[in-house]
Structure 1
Amino acid sequence: MSKRLAGRTALVTGATSNIGRAIAEAFAAEGAHVVVSGRSAGRGKEVVDGIRARGGRADFVLADLDGSAAASRALAEESTRVLGGRIDVLVNNAGIYPGDTTAETDEKTFDKVYAVNVKAPFFLTAAVAPAMVEAGGGAIVNLGSWIARLGVPIGALYSSTKGAMETLTRAWAAEFGPRGVRVNAISPGVVLTPEPGTVHPAEAMMKGTPAGRMGTPGAIADAAVYLAGDESSFVHGIVLDVDGGRTATAVIAG
């Protein structure tokens, strides 16, 4: 059976845990050579070793995406080198989430969250997308969030950054799509890996949804594989909700 991403190269940011890790593992399982990027060399090695043990191709590239154009360019350059000269798929996943209220958010936190969640992927895309155009095409997958469109009383700062990423998705689709680079986004719902025998407080936010439960990182990874591959060749500029119906349906809590 052919693998959907065979022969392709991919850079996944924030790939040492949770959703990013699941995407990197899914891409490798589908035949891609993946750069696992993150701030922890130890966790990165664990992900890469696991992928290689299953017969996949992966390398770790250390990166602290602080929002500077230099850091984003450095990651693009090193990943391109490691991947043999090109990046076919970019996943802008890295992000930070301070769950503070608006009044509790100081200016330093505000600047840092926008730097990591918006500036870093902006300048990484600026470095990668033109090279994709020159190489004949590619795919970019951004990570949004369900709380970018459905307000909750905490995390206004984070949700605004994800709203920015969803807007950039549409703008980049218009900018780069005509030149062969498809840009789309995934909007995850409540996605966590609960520990066995425990109930996470976030589960309450999924009560009354069609799914009736939290999602798994693997569910987001499946969507990323679809948006990165040929099956979505006619898909441009969308935000794909993978949220158990949280934003599309009326939630009636029992």
Structure 2
Amino acid sequence: MTRQHRTWLHPGTGDLAGSHQELRAFAAEATRVLGGRVDVLVNNAGLYPVPATEDLTDADLDALLAVNVRAPHVLVAALAPAMAARGHGVVVTTSSCMARVGSPFGAMYTATKAADEQLTRAWAAEYGPRGVRVNAVAPGVTLTPGNAAHHAVLDAMAAATPAGVVVRPEDVAAGVVHLASDDAAVVHGTVLSVDGGIGATRLDRPA
């Protein structure tokens, strides 16, 4: 993709579970490396432990809230004002099909994603009038390196959905690219489902 669009990648690292100051420093460094401006912020990183409520450790609870909710909030607070001052910018946050249903597993994970969707709507109202478009994508059952060992379970979950297959990372990426592009110039506060239809039709975990 970088060759096709003649763009350069500037790798950087940051601890999204770090302190507020570390997150702001990360945003400042990204701004510096990118020539003084960030045009698109994608809040994609997330943790997804899905134990029973009573089995979620205190450490995992704190990490979930830090990475899935606090980090997007701090980064938007650090970067969106400059976008608004220029009258142009895009924020896309990764939610989940599980944000809008009650499920018997991963209660806190689903709550963080519901928070991300509400932040998306609130930020659209807050920054949209100043030229910043804020939206989200909600992936469904997605095969990633982190869950490759559970491929059979994922296949079973996706089998009865309209698409009938698991979502690929590149499917989600295509949704993000669309929301970040001028093709979505009038799209604000929207959660784009990239889930094969699972959120609209079923969300069951095989026994």
**Shared fold (TM-score, shorter chain, > 0.5):** yes
Task: Specify every segment of 5 or more residues in structure 2 that has no aligned partner in the other structure, as ranges.
Answer: none
Task: Specify every segment of 5 or more residues in structure 1 that has no aligned partner in the other structure, as ranges.
Answer: 1-25, 32-54
Aligned residues: 203
Paired with 2:94 and 2:62, the residues of 1 have a C-alpha distance of 19
Q: Give the 3 Å change call, closer, same or farther, for CA 193–161 of structure 1 in structure 2.
A: closer
RMSD of the TM alignment (CA)? Answer: 2.2
**Which of 218, 223, 226 is 2:175 aligned to?**
223
**Which of 63, 66, 82 is 1:131 aligned to?**
82
Query: TM-score, normalising length from structure 1?
Result: 0.74
- Contact preservation (8 Å) 1:146, 1:246: yes
Structure having the higher helix fraction is 2
Aligned to 2:189: 237
Q: What percentage of residue pairs aligned between the two structures are identical?
A: 50
Query: TM-score, normalising length from structure 2?
Result: 0.91
Aligned letter for 1:70?
Q
- Structure 1 residue matching 2:63: 3-state secondary structure: helix
- Structure 2 residue matching 1:142: 3-state secondary structure: strand
The answer as to 2:133 corresponding to 1:182 is yes
Where do residues 29-68 of structure 1 align in structure 2 (5 Å cutoff)? Answer: 31=5, 56-66=7-17, 68=19
Q: CA deviation at 1:68?
A: 2.5
- Contact preservation (8 Å) 2:143, 2:151: no
Q: CA deviation at 1:107?
A: 2.4
Q: CA deviation at 1:67?
A: 5.1
- Structure 2 residue matching 1:91: 3-state secondary structure: strand
Where do residues 93-104 of structure 1 align in structure 2 (5 Å cutoff)? Answer: 93-104=44-55
Paired with 2:83 and 2:56, the residues of 1 have a C-alpha distance of 38
**Which of 85, 99, 107 is 2:36 aligned to?**
85
The answer as to 2:66 corresponding to 1:115 is yes
Q: CA deviation at 1:148?
A: 0.9
Q: Give the 3 Å change call, closer, same or farther, for CA 168–215 of structure 1 in structure 2.
A: same
Paired with 1:201 and 1:227, the residues of 2 have a C-alpha distance of 30
Q: Give the 3 Å change call, closer, same or farther, for CA 232–93 of structure 1 in structure 2.
A: same
Structure having the higher strand fraction is 1
Aligned letter for 1:112?
A
The answer as to 2:26 corresponding to 1:106 is no
Paired with 2:193 and 2:86, the residues of 1 have a C-alpha distance of 30
Q: CA deviation at 1:250?
A: 5.1
Paired with 2:74 and 2:123, the residues of 1 have a C-alpha distance of 12
Task: Could you list the structure 1 runs, at least 4 aligned residues long, displaced by more than 6 angstroms after superposition.
Answer: none
Aligned letter for 1:211?
A
